[in-house]
Amino acid sequence: MVMDGAEEEVKGEGKPMDCSKHQKRMKDRDLGVSCMVNTEVGALLTVMRMNPVDMPTPQFGIHGTEEAVDTSFINSLKSLRTFIFNLQQDWHSINPSIYLSPFLDVIQYEEISAAAAGISLSAILKILRLDIFNTGTPRAREAMHSVVEAIANCRLERANMPADDAILMRILQLLVTCLKCKGSPLLSDNAVCTIVNTCFQIVQQSASRGHVLQRCARHTMHELVQMIFARLPDLDSSVEILLDNDHISTMNYGIGAIIDIFQFICSLLNLSVEVPFDFDSTVSGPDEDIQLFALILINSAIELGGEAIARHQKLLGIIQDDLFFHLIHYGSNSSPLVLSMICSTALNLYHHLRSFLKLQLEAFFWFVCLKIAGGKLYTAQQEEVAIEGLVSFCRQPKFGVEMYMNFDCDPMRENIFEEIGKLLCKKASPGTGPLTSIQSQSFDGMVVMIQNIADGIDGIDRTNSNLKSPEFYDAPSSSSDCIETTKYRSFWTEKCEDYGDSETVIEFVRMRKCMKKRLMVSSDHFNRDEKKGLEFLKHSQLVPDPPDAHSIAYFLRYTQGVDKTLVGDYLGDPDEFHIQVLKEFTSTFNFTNMTLDIALRNFLETFRLPGEAQKIQRVLEAFAERFYVQSDETFADKDAVMVLCYSLIMLNTDQHNVQVKKKMTEEEFIRNNRNINGGEDLPREYLSELFQSIANNEITLADQSAASEDMNPSRWIYVINQSNNTDPYISCDTRPWLNRDMFSTLVGPSIATIAAIFEHTNDDNILKQCMEGFIAVARVA
């Protein structure tokens, strides 16, 4: 009975005992933290006593005694040791700077030894990893920023490379911990940018220090980017509005840091060969090596940010402009390894953000994938990588139909879907020997395209009341007059009435595709005979009857395949109607925020400047008037623009004609253009920029081979300007949309290719693919 009473007494006092146990555990934990800090203090004191050079203001007594090393560092460490064993409150309530400052001071001291710096860094690392303080701790924000500042200012001996490498490894660990610890939400945008910048400095330093440190530095940089961009989906897009262009937020880090860091890693694609890397000859060049590293970081940022990137206009703008230009520019001039990473990056961008990258994607396919896969100017390895990239895109279920609707059915855009399909058929065609890797890859992609078309048609729900009859989705006649038209309609500028309604969209894009087919026939007629070509335009309802200047201008400006020499002659003709067409033609350009040389480049890429002086004058007068209206206050009148245009064309000939031996200097160019601006001089800086632009980058006059040129900065500016006014990207759902229309563009070459390979090969896997291709064709038919 006594025992029972005792048990009841214990049970009755359960809560006080539990509370007491909790207090004891907390006290033990605090004591454990004190012991840990004491251990680090003791280790640091020992090293500093052994290395008097570590003391900033030594007062030597008897060598080897404490009096000999009694300095400010020693005193602060002794004070800390006393403090940690006489705590009046728990560790979570103590200002972290009290126990961090002695260690932070040590790593920033210019003459500190590697041993002392290493112990101090280890101590800071332990404190952060143990989460001794958190966001609720007094003065925690200041402490976290002090840690970041101290790491960025950490001094190295530089005379002892192995010791310095150990320090750098510890710094890398500490940088990651700063973003992982409980105090990380207190970091500002500036602090996070400092962390990333410090890490990249180590990446650069490690290039000459060995592979181990370099791999660790790059791995750390990658981990930092992943942690930072993993926050993006949870960030409020409205915060970006509060950020000033010249100011990084000092509040808790977020979109400001992410924008700056993403801009930085994109800029790494532009690093030149002077970056000091020390790889053997079997590895890609130093510039390509850093490009590969940058692309890995960019890919991770895109994968983690995903669709949330579109909520932040500044971040999206970097992708739309700088990043895509770099991908296209370097994609067409890089090794197979870099090209492969660029294609993977573009695929990620397509998956997450294609609705915001319509013209950028078109440019990427046209100037990178299709151009390289053509194989005329590139190695077999580059060609194979480009085809692999195209096949990866083709494997996306909606890729084919979206390319067809957004580009092939737009009179102003390239036939991306058709060109990819025809290219794969051509590259898959068998030769005399076994199928090559390129042929196999191309055949695989071609079969995938047909299977995706067939899968879409199989998915028609014929009982779905929201759809019209299944015949609505059947392809119309393949003739150019697939849609009956009795009068002209302004299809160039016509917009879809409701992009949200699939049936309205289908009717709209079918109409535009038929108009585009007619335009192709019209351009052929125009190239052979101008008058007959214009008559065909009227007969096909592509221009009103009688024709107006607006519709003719759009035909000359946007129709693919029109002879650019004929366009130039037409625009320079003195006939009154031709002059009206010229004005309408120039009105299709937007020169806002362009310098004169870039505007002139864009203008002259659309036609070949005629040879007759009077025609040239008429064309340049129209250009000068349009540019002057849209330019800033640099020019006094359109005559100043006109004179400078002539001067730039003459400079272009002078600088890039091999027959001109004595080239014009910048000073001569500026002197030749004095007093042309309403009797005044144009700004010297403006003329200097124009001279350098022309001298370093020739204005290429349009000719029939212009389509094969690389993407250049002036052309890219035009793409960006166009993207601001283009039709929205049409995203497709799971319905068949225009699958039969799509198949009609591929049916001939695809069946011929499958049949040829079926007869040619004895490989069981290839034969199986042939059967799958035939079955897919039958499903569509």
Is 612 a residue of the active site? yes
Tokens of 205: 């330093």
Q: At what angle do helices 739-760 and 437-458 cross, to 10 degrees?
A: 140
What is the distance between the alpha carbons of residues 626 and 641, in angstroms, rounded to a whole number? 10
Cα within 13 Å of Cα(174), Cβ side: 31
What does residue 677 show for φ and ψ, rounded to 5 degrees? -100, 75
Residue 772 burial by CB count (10 A; 0-12/13-18/19+): exposed, middle or buried?
A: middle
- Please name the residues in contact with 129: beta carbons below 8 A apart, sequence gap of 6 or more: 177, 181
Task: Give Cβ neighbours of residue 658 (< 8 Å, ≥ 6 apart).
Answer: none
Phi and psi, residue 467, nearest 5°: -105, 155
In contact, 228 and 261? CB cutoff 8 Å: yes
Instruction: Spell out the SS3 assignment of 99-156.
Output: HHHHHHHHHHCCCCCHHHHHHHHHHHHHHHHCCCCCCCCCCHHHHHHHHHHHHHCCCC
Paired tokens of 565? 């020499």
Per-residue tokens: 558: 């946007």
Beta carbons within 8 Å of 659's beta carbon, 6+ residues apart? none
List C-alpha distances in Å: 509 to 111, 543, 653.
72, 19, 44
Collapsing DSSP to helix, strand or coil, 369 comes out as helix
Q: What is the DSSP string of 649-708?
A: HHHHHHHH-TT--SPPPHHHHHHHTTTTBTTBPPPHHHHHHHHHHHHHS--PPP-TTGGG
Do residues 744 and 517 lie in contact, with contact meaning Cβ atoms separated by under 8 Å?
Answer: no
Report d(CA 419, CA 396) in Å as an integer.
17
Q: Burial code of 47-65, b = ≥16 C-beta within 10 A, e = fewer? A: bbbeeeebbeeeeeeeeee
Cis bond leading into 546, ω under 30°?
yes
Burial class of residue 390, CB neighbours in 10 A (0-12, 13-18, 19+)? buried
Tokens of 15: 């809560």
Q: How far is CA 383 from the centre of its chain?
A: 23
- 188 bridge partner residues: 252
For residues 73 and 79, give the distance between their C-alpha atoms in angstroms, rounded to a whole number: 10
What's the gap between Cα 718 and its chain centre? 18
Catalytic residue among 8, 66, 612, 667: 612
| Residue 540 backbone phi and psi in degrees, to 5 | -90, 5
Cα distance between residue 192 and residue 266, in whole Å: 17
Nearest to 437 by CA among 397, 382, 395, 376: 382
Contact predicate 200/194, CB 8 Å: no
Element (H, E) at 129: helix 114-129
Pair of tokens at residue 135? 């966001």
Q: How many residues does the chain have?
A: 781
What is the number of other CB atoms lying within 10 angstroms of the CB of residue 283?
12
DSSP tally for the chain: helices H, then strands E: 34, 0
- Angle formed at CA 389 by CA 225 and CA 770, multiple of 5 degrees: 140
Active-site amino acid positions: 612
